[in-house]
Amino acid sequence: MSEHSTDLREAVRRRYAAAALQVAEGGTGCCGPQPTGTDGALDDDIFGSALYSPDERGTLPAEAVAASLGCGNPTAVAELREGDRVLDLGSGGGIDVLLSARRVGPTGRAYGLDMTDEMLRLALANAEKAGAANVEFLKGTIEAIPLPAHAVDVVISNCVINLSVDKPAVFAETFRVLRPGGRLGVSDVVADDSLTAGQRAERGDYVGCIAGALSFTEYREGLEAAGFTDVEITPTHPVADGMHSALVRATKPLTGPDRAPLA
């Protein structure tokens, strides 16, 4: 990994460690390009817990809701089923893991993966408060998932893949841990194809989920290069000029060789 990539990853880690500590002290976390109010808060209709239904928020510990930093609700589109094993990439305070755990039931399992100790501690506390027995939180990066091949039925993520410094590795690792026929259902920030990398950076910084976003074509081609089929990318709402929160769906084919992990 280059020095620049290492610096970006550390900046992301610091941002979300600080968000976890803020929530633990009774505040709320945030993601996104820039504050929209005088108090430094972001528009709740773009990022955060308002993207979940009142019923969903009402079933969870307040700290899990406060730590919601995403740009969508991947559990609403991931088609989770009773007994599924689901992995949340960049699980943060655990909101999507806890919602997934309820949907897959006691015969299923929900894994959360995060690289930030502070978020993992918050997520474990939230799982205990929720009484969730079918969850497990793992420390690691989304570019090197600490699970064996074919370990899960579904991979979800909420506004995290755009933060990765090596997105091809994320797509390859996601493909590896999914069983044949497994599904990807994520929310992420995606840029119009007309925007250059420089123009994306003008609209927001890397740790704010903007500068590192892929374009629609780049996202599709990246997933297909990893082996995914049936790729669908559906924008849901704007987050900056020419940039959108989008729902991304894809499938790992039932047959065919697994792609080798990236070197």
Find the length of the chain: 263
Asked if 158 contacts 185 with a C-beta cutoff of 8 angstroms, the reply is: no
Does the CA dihedral 67-71-77-79 come out positive or negative? Answer: negative
Q: How many angstroms separate the CA atoms of 154 and 99, rounded?
A: 14
Dihedral angle computed from the Cα positions of residues 222, 250, 236 and 61, in that order, rounded to the nearest 10 degrees: -110
How many Å apart are CA 212 and CA 198, to the nearest integer?
10
Q: Rounded to an integer, what distance in angstroms lies between the CA atom of residue 80 and that of residue 133?
A: 18
Residue identified by tokens 């599924």 is 84
Please report which confidence band the pLDDT of residue 243 belongs to, taking 50, 70 and 90 as the band edges.
very high
Domains of the chain, by residue range, sit at 3-251
Percentage of residues in the chain having pLDDT higher than 90: 47
First to last CA, the chain: 12
Element (H, E) at 88: strand 85-89
Distance between CA 54 and CA 69 in Å, rounded?
A: 17
For strands 152-158 and 178-191, give the pairing.
parallel
Mean pLDDT of 127-142: 93
Q: What is the pTM of this model?
A: 0.80
Tens of pLDDT, residues 92-122 = 888 889 989 999 999 999 999 998 898 898 8
Separation of alpha carbons 1 and 6, rounded Å: 6
At residue 11, the pLDDT reads 61
CATH, range 3-251: 3.40.50.150
Tell me which amino acid residue 52 is.
Y
* CA separation, residue 31 to residues 44, 66, 198 (Å): 10, 12, 20
Identify the weakest region by mean pLDDT among 36-50, 94-108, 124-138.
36-50
| pLDDT beyond 50 at 262 | no
